[in-house]
Structure 1
Amino acid sequence: MSQNAPVAEDFSRSFRNALGRFATGITVVTMRTPTGELIGLTVNSFNSVSLDPPLVVWSLSSNLPSLKLFEDCEYYAINVLAADQEAVSQRFASRMADRFAGLGFDHGLGGAPLLHGCCARFVCRNTTRYAGGDHVIFVSEVVSFDRSDADPLVYFGGAYRHLTP
């Protein structure tokens, strides 16, 4: 082993830190189960794939209890958080029992919650999934969307950031 190569237990942390040098937006992916339960979680692995047809991609850890619910639902919403929604990001990243308590939202197709105050919201049809290491990759057809002029919440280097003019 060369002196510059990280030891095995340090590789994951070093790799994660290197990935953290890429700035991302923050989204909350939401859905409604067949029993009416609202599910949502913070995701920063979101990107566009295609304009025609309109496709986006995001991924979810294979070890999350909600994975099966997202795999089986027909529609979900991807809510792109605005700069003033750090608390919303933290709420949906937590183990809080009712993450939707006190939040305003609209209902998209399939009852997918569309959070108020976001800079963009996409209602997606759950179309294709792929195994990707320790994650499942969702490729989703966008069936409707809206947007505002709000600045996005950005994540970089392990911390929330804000755009500057």
Structure 2
Amino acid sequence: MLTETISPDLFRAALSRWASGVTVVTTTDADGRSHGFTASAFSSVSLDPALVLVCLDNRANCFDAFDQSEGFVIHLLAQGQEGLAGKFASKGADKFAGTDVRLSERGLPLLPGALARLECRTERRIPGGDHLILIGEVHHADQGDGEPLVYYQRGFHELIPAGASLA
């Protein structure tokens, strides 16, 4: 039986070897204020019903808003949206300032330029160590054009299409 634990630094370093897409997740609180965060911990869960999950740090300023919200939107970011990812990963400042935000029919904040947006009803919240796992049932999706924003070894990268010349 394994009883050893791994140090957070070693765990973080090992996970930095996993390339992932980048998302910004948004919601509104009971007072109608918009909240959001950047997440690379995102995954599809089920096709039928359409379920996805995203993980939120328990210490995030927006934790209460997501812990109490009935829904959220996951924005799959495109190349060129590094600034948006950085803005929503920061603490403190108004993350929506200077961003062309509109509200969905359900009153959730929609950010422009994403490769795809998944509008979800909060299905379940599961405590997961120092994070909250949000499972959402997707009720609406739309798609944009472009290539995905990729996060690898603590930095943003571009995909090189198969067969592309590196010259």
- Find the counterpart in structure 1 of residue 135 from structure 2: 139
Code of the residue aligned with 1:62 in structure 2: it is: N
- Find the counterpart in structure 2 of residue 118 from structure 1: 114
- Number of equivalenced pairs: 158
Instruction: Give the alignment's TM-score, normalised by structure 2.
Output: 0.89
**1:12-27 maps to which residues of 2 (within 5 A)?**
12-27=8-23
For 2:67 and 2:52, locate their aligned partners in 1 and report how far apart those are by CA, in whole Å: 15
Structure 1 counterpart SS, 2:99: coil
The answer to whether residue 60 in structure 2 is matched with residue 64 in structure 1 is yes
For 2:145 and 2:101, locate their aligned partners in 1 and report how far apart those are by CA, in whole Å: 18
Moved over 6 A (4+): none
Structure 2 counterpart SS, 1:97: coil
For 2:7 and 2:49, locate their aligned partners in 1 and report how far apart those are by CA, in whole Å: 38
**1:82-97 maps to which residues of 2 (within 5 A)?**
82-97=78-93
How far is 1:128 from its partner? 0.4
How far is 1:50 from its partner? 0.7
How far is 1:96 from its partner? 4.3
Given candidates 143, 149, 165, the residue that maps to 2:145 is: 149
Instruction: Give the alignment's TM-score, normalised by structure 1.
Output: 0.90
Name the structure with the higher helix share. 1
How far is 1:132 from its partner? 0.9
For 1:34 and 1:67, locate their aligned partners in 2 and report how far apart those are by CA, in whole Å: 13
Contact 1:125-1:140 at 8 Å conserved across structures: yes
The answer to whether residue 160 in structure 2 is matched with residue 164 in structure 1 is yes
Contact 1:76-1:110 at 8 Å conserved across structures: no
Contact 1:74-1:110 at 8 Å conserved across structures: no
The answer to whether residue 63 in structure 2 is matched with residue 39 in structure 1 is no
Identity, % of aligned positions: 41
How far is 1:27 from its partner? 0.6
Structure 2: 5+ residue stretches without partners: 162-167
Contact 2:61-2:91 at 8 Å conserved across structures: no
The two structures, once aligned, show a CA RMSD in angstroms of 1.6
